[in-house]
Chain A
Amino acid sequence: MDFQHTEDRRMLADMAGRYVREQYAIEDRHKIAAGENGYSKEKWAEFAELGLIGALFGEEVGGFGGAGFDIAVVFEELGKGLVVEPFLANLIAGKAISVAGSDQQKAMLESVIGGETTLALAYGEPTTRYSLNQIAMGGSTIGNGYVLNGHKSVVLNGDSADHLVVAARTSGTAGDDSGLSLFLIDANSEGISRRGFGTNDGYKAAEIMFSKVEVSQDALIGTEGEGLSILETAIGWGILAVCAEALGAMQVASDQTLDYLKTRKQFGVPIGKFQALQHRLVDMLIEIEQVRSALINAAGHMDAPANERDWHLSSLKNLVGRAGKLIGEESIQMHGGIGMTFEYSVAHFAKRLIMIDHLFGDTDHHLKKIIDLSGKRAA
């Protein structure tokens, strides 16, 4: 056994960590988040130049990484700075293309990796909640292509993306596993209207309406009607990424809390002298180690059979949901009033940790999946 990252990945992590520390201070992050796109085109270009977008994708599509541990190390560092650049949106949409896209579609990933083109994955709808097979949006065939009609909800960075990967139903009804198809389309196609908005943790998303949007046959990603497994794979990468991000955010939140316990004096002593608080910080540290291990388990199974991979991903997401709530809430509580303020950064890490539970399935959603998958795993 060897739990050390390869030399290359350590360098990747160091580089990402240094950039985030030195070029992405929390005050800058707030300013960027409040801007029009909710991210900075300059920073995004710099991330591209550093190779951090390319690290998310394999060589076959022009990247130089793309494995579970590549994504884990990059997102852990992004989480330490609450980076709002559209890494997550481009990862999940890009993975859908890289696992099932045509050569022509894959070619687009080069400009994504270069930072010139951005993608978003439009899959959720007002009533899907976290279940991917609940997608109902219509994608009927017409002539030599398709026409899309419907409403996509809370599409991460959907307001600013150049291209959308859209999940629609080409047969069957909500709840069916088969009949979903994915399409790669220009986000400014006729019939698409987008309404961007901010999220509680400072990110951007959009509601996107599709009204008689005509798409050609070559927009289809993979095989018609078999989009669910592509979508599950793409969302699986998203789960891995946000959990790695959560790990980074947890470390900062607990470091800040420890620092506060050492420096804040009440009753003549640093409050960290009180055992009641010491043990609670220790509980946080234990959970962080648990999350790191679950992340390693999941990252190491990204190429395993789907049931095995998904068991690890759901375990990770469930654990991160529980640990994120503990660490987010306790970090604020142990800071007291100062932890409640916008100005002091610990609350922003807490907000991200709590909001991550609302991405790609919450604690309960994944608990159900774990129970469901337990009997289906290869022995």
Chain B
Amino acid sequence: MDLNYTDEEVAFRDEVRAFLKAELPKRISDKVLKSLRLTKEDMEEWHAILNRKGWLAHAWPKAFGGLEWDAVERNIFDEECAVAGAPRLVPFGLNMLAPVLMAFGSTEQQQHYLPRILDGTDWWCQGYSEPGSGSDLASLKTKAVREGDHYIVNGQKTWTTLGQHANMIFCLVRTSSEGKQQEGISFLLIDMDTPGVEVRPILLLNGEHEVNEVFFDNVKVPVENLVGEENKGWTYAKFLLLHERTGIAGVGFSMAGLDHLKEIAKDQKVDGKPLIEDPYFAARMAEVEVDLAAMRTTNLRVLQAAKDGAAAGPESSMLKIKGTVIRQTINDLTRRALGPFALPFSSEALDVGYNEDPIGPEYANPVTGDYFNNRKLSIFGGSNEIQKNIITKVTMGL
């Protein structure tokens, strides 16, 4: 048993830190750490900086120009990025589509799409959920009918994150209604500029636009945009879920969030004394700190096991549940810490360049919105209820 990173891992961490210090624009990290709005250009800029460094494809196999960082290295990178205030990399092309193309795509697809993911030519979004198919994803109805050398796609996708910025969408579509639901699903790549594709915004409870509905009305998709075999799409989607274990716990975000919370709790006063010294609030903070310290090790144990070649079990589901609950608890405490200043909200003040005085402390404005917005963490990517079903199935043998 050795709780420390190896010398190589420490050296790697220091290298990541030095890179972030030198290359992550302060203009962008300030926005992230202050929870201000990021523009499309901000996200593209960070993407390009990592690409120049050659670190964008750090998880990809060397055969595809990647670095093959192992799970522990990837986790170090994610944690350091989160703490430094790097924007979250949009995962849809880089971490979701790319592994599927590498495993199941044609050589032509690999050669065409993978470089375009790296150089930012394509911004991918994900077309999985539908209004009637959320937790029960396999019931999806968006239909693709083969006509000559095209598929004709009709249907609707929803909760499409950042779809307003995307030019490409990878979709699960129904190509057969025979047999089991899962066996009639195909994995299709669709250019969003094709006639018949329409993106409509869905505003979230805090008024922000980050998800969309995407409608398909007789959209013609060339057959060469099918990934792998027809009716095998479910297998490809599941492959992805099983292999995605790093990052799922969001430990870096929790660490950054806890630091922010402590700063606020030092600044806020209760009866003239810092909130951080208030035994009631301190107890709440201590509990989540205990949870996070243990979570961090659970995460590392899982990642180390993955590095050592262990088969995936129910761990990712456990990490997702506990990780999201901890992040939400930190959001909850940060909101509580503000006292009456959790109430005021100005949407304009989330944009850089807003130059009126803040209402209350400078850090207050985004906090409550973040708390509400992060209720999504336990809903998306397979709700925590679905994760519990998965763990039940794997562990209980009932």
Question: Are A and B associated in one complex?
Answer: yes
A145 within 8 A of B: no
Which of chain B's residues 361-386 have a Cβ closer than 8 Å to chain A? 368-369, 371-372, 375-376, 378-380, 383-385
Q: B372, A154: Cβ atoms under 8 Å?
A: no
Is A342 located at the chain interface by the 8 A CB criterion?
yes
Tell me if B385 and A364 are in contact (CB < 8 A).
Answer: no
A303 within 8 A of B: no
Interface-facing stretch out of A178-186, A230-238, A332-340:
A332-340
**Residue among B132, B205, B335, B342 with max Cβ neighbours from chain A (10 Å):** B205
Residues of A with C-beta under 8 A to B344: 154, 197-200, 205
- Flag the segment in B40-48, B50-58, B231-239, B265-273 that touches A: B265-273
0 or 1 for each of A134-150: is its CB under 8 Å from B? (1 = yes): 10000000000000000
Provide the bound-state CA to CA distance between A365 and B228, in Å: 59
Cross-interface CB contact of A347 among B158, B205, B281, cutoff 8 Å: B205
Determine whether the beta carbon of A333 is less than 8 Å from that of B345: no
Residue of B whose beta carbon sits closest to that of A131: B271
CB within 8 Å of A: which B169-222 residues:
202-207, 211
B359 contacts A by Cβ under 8 Å:
yes
* Beta-carbon contact of B340 and A153 below 8 Å: yes
Say how far A270's CB is from chain B's closest CB, in angstroms. Answer: 12
Which residues of chain A come closer than 8 Å to B360, judged between CB atoms? 126, 153-154
Interface size grouping (class) on chain A: 35 or more
The reply to whether B204 and A129 contact each other, CB–CB distance below 8 Å, is no
* A266 touches B (CB below 8 Å): yes
A126, closest chain B residue (CB): B360
Q: Which of A321-360 contact B (CB under 8 A)?
A: 325, 329, 332-333, 336-337, 339-343, 347-348, 350-351, 354-355, 357-359
Q: Which residues of B are found within 8 Å of A77, using beta-carbon distances? A: none
Query: Whose C-beta in chain B lies nearest to the C-beta of A332?
Result: B375
The docked-state distance in angstroms from the alpha carbon of A333 to that of B379 is: 7
A207-B379 contact in complex given A130-B340, A200-B342, A337-B134, C-beta closer than 8 Å = no
Across the interface, name the chain A residue whose C-beta is closest to B205.
A347
Asked if A198 and B340 make an inter-chain contact with CB atoms under 8 angstroms apart, the answer reads: no
Query: From residue A106, how far is it (CB to closest CB) to chain B in Å?
Result: 29
Q: Is the CB of A124 closer than 8 A to any CB of chain B?
A: yes
Find chain B residues with CB under 8 A from A350 CB.
205, 372
Q: Is A368 touching B385 in the complex (CB atoms < 8 A)?
A: no
Give the chain B neighbours of A364 by CB distance below 8 A.
278, 280-281, 284, 336
Q: Does residue B142 face the partner (Cβ distance < 8 Å to A)?
A: no
- Decide: B280 and A205 in contact? CB cutoff 8 A: no
Q: How far is the CA of A127 from the CA of B388 in the complex (A)?
A: 43
**Are A276 and B385 closer than 8 Å at their CB atoms?**
yes
Flag whether B124 is at the interface (Cβ < 8 A): no
CB <8 Å contact, A333 and B342: no
A100, CB-defined interface residue at 8 Å: no
In Å, the complex CA distance between A267 and B134 comes to 10
**B136 contacts which of A201, A266, A348 (Cβ < 8 Å)?**
A266
Min CB distance B183 to A, Å, is 17
By DSSP majority rule, is chain B's interface helix, strand, loop, or mixed? mixed
Contact flag A266-B134 (CB < 8 Å), given A131-B271, A153-B340, A200-B343: yes
Determine which residue in A175, A200, A201, A205 has the highest number of CB atoms from chain B within 10 A of its CB, and name it.
A200
Shortest Cβ distance from B60 into chain A, in angstroms? 30
Q: How far is the CB of A197 from chain B (nearest CB, A)?
A: 5
Interface presence of A174 (CB below 8 A) = yes
Whether, in the assembled complex, B254 has its beta carbon less than 8 Å from a beta carbon of chain A, the answer is no
State whether A351 touches B269 (Cβ < 8 A). no
Q: Is B139 an interface residue (CB 8 A)?
A: yes
Contact partner, B270, options A129, A277, A367, Cβ 8 Å: A129
Q: State whether A358 touches B343 (Cβ < 8 A).
A: yes
Distance from B326 Cβ to chain A, minimum over Cβ atoms (Å): 15
In the complex, the answer to whether B342 meets A267 with C-beta atoms within 8 Å is no
Whether B159 is near chain A, meaning CB under 8 Å from some CB there, is: yes
Does B339 make an interface contact (CB < 8 A)?
A: yes
Which residues on the B side are within 8 Å of A339 (C-beta)?
Answer: 375, 379
Contact of A134 among B271, B284, B343, B378 (CB under 8 A): B271
* Contact of A333 with B378 in the complex, beta carbons under 8 Å: yes
In whole Å, how far is B380's beta carbon from the nearest beta carbon of chain A?
Answer: 7
A76 at the interface (CB under 8 A from B): no
List chain B residues, Cβ under 8 A from A287. Answer: none
Question: Does B341 interact with chain A (Cβ within 8 Å)?
Answer: yes
In chain A, positions 198-228 with a C-beta closer than 8 Å to chain B are: 198-201, 203, 205, 207
Distance in Å: Cβ of B332 to nearest Cβ of chain A? 8
Q: Is B107 an interface residue (CB 8 A)?
A: no
The reply to whether B345 and A198 form a contact with Cβ atoms under 8 Å apart is yes
Q: With an 8 A cutoff between CB atoms, is B317 at the interface?
A: no
A362 within 8 A of B: yes
Known: A130-B339, A342-B203, A367-B280. A174 touches B272 (CB 8 A): yes
Q: Across the interface, which residues of A come within 8 angstroms of B268, CB to CB? A: 129
Once the chains bind, are A198 and B346 in contact (CB under 8 Å)? yes
B182 to chain A, nearest CB (A): 13
Q: Decide if B135 is an interface residue (CB 8 Å cutoff).
A: yes
**B135 in contact with A336 (CB, 8 Å):** yes
Given contacts A134-B271, A200-B369, A343-B203, A336 and B343 within 8 Å (CB-CB): no
Chain A residues positioned under 8 Å from B139 (CB to CB)? 266-267
CB of A200 within 8 A of CB of B202, answer no
| Residue from the list B203, B336, B341 in contact with A341, Cβ < 8 A | B203
When distances are taken between beta carbons in the complex, the residues of chain B under 8 Å from A174 are 272
- Listed in ascending order, the chain A residues whose CB lies under 8 Å from chain B are 124, 126-127, 129-131, 134, 153-154, 174-175, 195, 197-201, 203, 205, 207, 265-267, 271, 274, 276-277, 325, 329, 332-333, 336-337, 339-343, 347-348, 350-351, 354-355, 357-359, 362, 364, 367-368
**What are 16 A-to-B residue pairs whose CB atoms are below 8 Å?**
A126-B360, A129-B268, A129-B340, A332-B205, A337-B134, A340-B376, A341-B204, A342-B204, A347-B205, A347-B372, A348-B205, A354-B368, A354-B371, A357-B336, A359-B340, A364-B278
Query: Which 3 pairs, one residue from A and one from B, show the smallest C-beta to C-beta distance?
Result: A347-B205, A266-B136, A342-B203
